[in-house]
Chain A
Amino acid sequence: MNLHAVKAIYKFEMARTWRTLFQSIATPVMTTSLYFVVFGSAIGSRMMEIDGVSYGAFIVPGLIMLTVLMESVSNGSFGIYMPKFAGTIYELLSAPVGLTETLLGYTGAAATKSVILGLVILATARLFVPFSIEHPFWMIGFLVLTSVTFALLGFLIGIWADSWEKIQIVPMMVVTPLTFLGGSFYSISMLPEVWQKITLFNPVVYLGPTSTSC
């Protein structure tokens, strides 16, 4: 394996993250803060506790997941779609790299960015609501696994897409609705029985409660 190539791709992708630091970090942080202001403070103060935690604290894992899923998919797809779009893909195609190096480099960088974002949002949330993390290692491990999985999904989208619309359609039309309907902002036990059953087909459900229990 060509480890220098993995490093080169990873560094190159991370350089873009630092270069676009404002969009990369500030925008999700601002969006999350707004969620906390609206749902956590304004509405949340009128809500009961869910599963023994205050509503403000309950939505923290959901909000982190929402951003992490969206960012993993869009970073994963953007990283490989950009060279296709700009034409610089010729270099990757003519380089002594195979699928392994390409995947490690691109999805590694996309997942790293998502993990950083997740942690930044976690820190931001702390400013709005008090909460404690019972299993920090599980939480980090879970965050990393989720980021990598969805960055890989993003990579597939990036390879498949032939326009910017297609890049955006999956995070917007698939990931966001699944996250909202996946019990990120409510406990699925609050739903009528039929909807509970239907909701179990939503893969994001299995990310929500697990992360919630962290």
Chain B
Amino acid sequence: MSVLTVSGVSKTYATGYQALKHVDLEIRRGEIFALLGPNGAGKTTLINIVCGIVTASTGTVTADGHDNVRDFRKARAAIGLVPQELTTDMFETVWSTLCFSRGLFGKPPDPAVLEKVLRDLSLWEKKDAKIMTLSGGMKRRVMIAKALAHEPTILFLDEPSAGVDVELRRDMWQMVRNLRENGVTIILTTHYIEEAEEMADRIGVISKGELVVVEEKTALMRKLGKKQLTLSLQNPLAAIPPTLAGLPLELSDEGNTLTYNFDTQAHDTGIAPLLRRLNEAGIEFKDLHTAESSLEEIFVSLVRSTTTKDTKGARL
């Protein structure tokens, strides 16, 4: 069951720049959805349209069953947004800024809820501190706390780990997982493929305002994932011998390394015949290892294919 529906949303700014081109997207209740894309792809525009900050040129958005224009109060009350920039009221205390956020989203004061939010984010000790005295990582957590203050069912995290150190990023991932366990649907945008790979249930890739692919993470990796066998040769080769011609082989590292690309889905990976033919050709190797392509490589290949206008090829 979908908790958020984006249908036919386009956005053309007054300058004529088209930031989004007919985006359709369904977010399922309780999932973690990662929206990946290079800078300027339209990730933030899409989030801002859903949250009501930017008006869509065409199309509709439904959040928790409410149209976000006709019934904007109910739709927006269901959503929490953690923006990319660290914008907080520097002179306020953590506690008062949370009270403000909760009230703004139409909820009566409830200190117990705010206390839980702060404790979950390890901010309870800082509740009376002015925001300006906090570190960057803490400020980001304050932003998250503000977004959670009204107990939203949908949480948007726009680049949550930008400028956050590794340890804190891990904590944040854990926090996101905990939120999901509590029934919150999470949509995050990120540059860090690692983040999507680590957390997301489904992944959407956006490039030049178009949603290029939406797929289960594991399925996406399986479909687009390639494996690579790397052989370190005993003696360098000047060229690939004619007997091995026609195979997906590449020679690199001044003839010392031979790489073989194969499809993880294929029944016959072709490794056994390759090794036999290498043996027949008298090529010896001292080491071999296989590696699976990461989401990052998949992402780069998807984005590259859209920039070369080969969008059909990238659609799954």
Q: State the A residues within 8 Å of B (CB).
A: 2, 4-5, 7-9, 11-12, 15-16, 19, 86-88, 90-98
**Least Cβ distance of B49 to chain A in Å?**
11
In the complex the two chains form, is B52's CB within 8 Å of A8's CB?
no
**Residues of B within 8 Å of A, CB-based: how many?**
31
In the complex the two chains form, is B76's CB within 8 Å of A94's CB?
yes
* Cβ-defined partner of A90 (8 Å) among B83, B90, B91, B105: B83
In the complex the two chains form, is A87's CB within 8 Å of B81's CB?
no
In the complex the two chains form, is A7's CB within 8 Å of B77's CB?
no
* Cβ-defined partner of B103 (8 Å) among A4, A15, A93: A4
In the complex the two chains form, is B85's CB within 8 Å of A95's CB?
no
> Inside 8 A of B102's CB, which chain A residues have their CB?
4, 8
* A92→B102 CA distance, assembly (Å): 12
Majority SS at the chain A contact face:
helix
Known: A88-B88, A95-B76, A96-B74. A7 touches B51 (CB 8 A): no
In the complex the two chains form, is A2's CB within 8 Å of B52's CB?
no
In the complex the two chains form, is A90's CB within 8 Å of B53's CB?
yes
Can you name the residue of chain A whose Cβ is closest to the Cβ of B76?
A: A96
* A92→B104 CA distance, assembly (Å): 7
**Least Cβ distance of A189 to chain B in Å?**
48
In the complex the two chains form, is B87's CB within 8 Å of A95's CB?
no
Can you name the residue of chain B whose Cβ is closest to the Cβ of A82?
A: B89
Given contacts A96-B105, A97-B104, 11 further A-B contacts (CB under 8 A): A5-B106, A8-B102, A12-B100, A86-B87, A87-B85, A88-B88, A91-B81, A93-B51, A93-B52, A94-B76, A96-B77
In the complex the two chains form, is A94's CB within 8 Å of B91's CB?
no
* A86→B87 CA distance, assembly (Å): 6
Q: State the B residues within 8 Å of A (CB).
A: 51-53, 72-77, 79, 81, 83, 85, 87-92, 96, 99-108, 146
**Least Cβ distance of A78 to chain B in Å?**
13
> Inside 8 A of B100's CB, which chain A residues have their CB?
8-9, 11-12
In the complex the two chains form, is A4's CB within 8 Å of B106's CB?
yes
Pick from B77, B102, B106 the residue with the most CB of A within 10 Å. B106
Known: A4-B108, A7-B103. A94 touches B52 (CB 8 A): yes
**Least Cβ distance of B188 to chain A in Å?**
16
Known: A4-B108, A11-B100. A86 touches B89 (CB 8 A): yes
| Between-chain CB contacts (< 8 Å), 19 pairs | A2-B106, A4-B102, A4-B106, A4-B108, A5-B104, A7-B103, A8-B103, A9-B103, A9-B104, A12-B92, A12-B100, A15-B96, A88-B88, A90-B81, A91-B81, A91-B146, A94-B76, A96-B105, A96-B106
**Least Cβ distance of B63 to chain A in Å?**
11
Pick from B52, B83, B104, B108 the residue with the most CB of A within 10 Å. B104
* A197→B151 CA distance, assembly (Å): 61
* A137→B220 CA distance, assembly (Å): 72
Known: A5-B106, A8-B99. A94 touches B85 (CB 8 A): no
* A98→B101 CA distance, assembly (Å): 15
> Inside 8 A of A97's CB, which chain B residues have their CB?
73, 104
> Inside 8 A of A98's CB, which chain B residues have their CB?
72-73
**Least Cβ distance of A51 to chain B in Å?**
46
**Least Cβ distance of A105 to chain B in Å?**
9
